[in-house]
Amino acid sequence: MTYQDFMKKVRYVDNIIARWMMRHFYFMFFQMVLVIIFVIWFINVLRVIDVNFEIVKESILQRILIAQTINTTILVIVMILNSFWLLYIFNVLQRQKNIMKDVNYNILRLRNRHRQSEK
- DSSP per-residue codes, 61-83: HHHHHHHHHHHHHHHHHHHHHHH
Give the per-residue pLDDT at 23.
67
The larger pLDDT score, comparing residue 62 to residue 110, is at 110
Give the per-residue pLDDT at 45.
81
CA nearest neighbour of 22 among 87, 83, 79, 105: 87
Q: At what angle do helices 60-118 and 3-21 cross, to 10 degrees?
A: 160
66/77 Cα distance (integer angstroms):
16
119/116 Cα distance (integer angstroms):
5
Which tens digit of pLDDT belongs to each residue from 7-63? Answer: 888 888 888 888 777 666 777 777 788 888 888 888 888 887 777 777 767 788 888
DSSP 22: I
Which tens digit of pLDDT belongs to each residue from 62-96? Answer: 888 888 888 888 888 888 888 888 888 887 888 88
Q: What is the pTM of this model?
A: 0.54
Give the per-residue pLDDT at 27.
72
Evaluate whether 36 touches 115 at the Cβ level (below 8 Å): no
CA nearest neighbour of 74 among 46, 45, 37: 45
Give the per-residue pLDDT at 117.
82
Domain ranges of the chain: 3-118
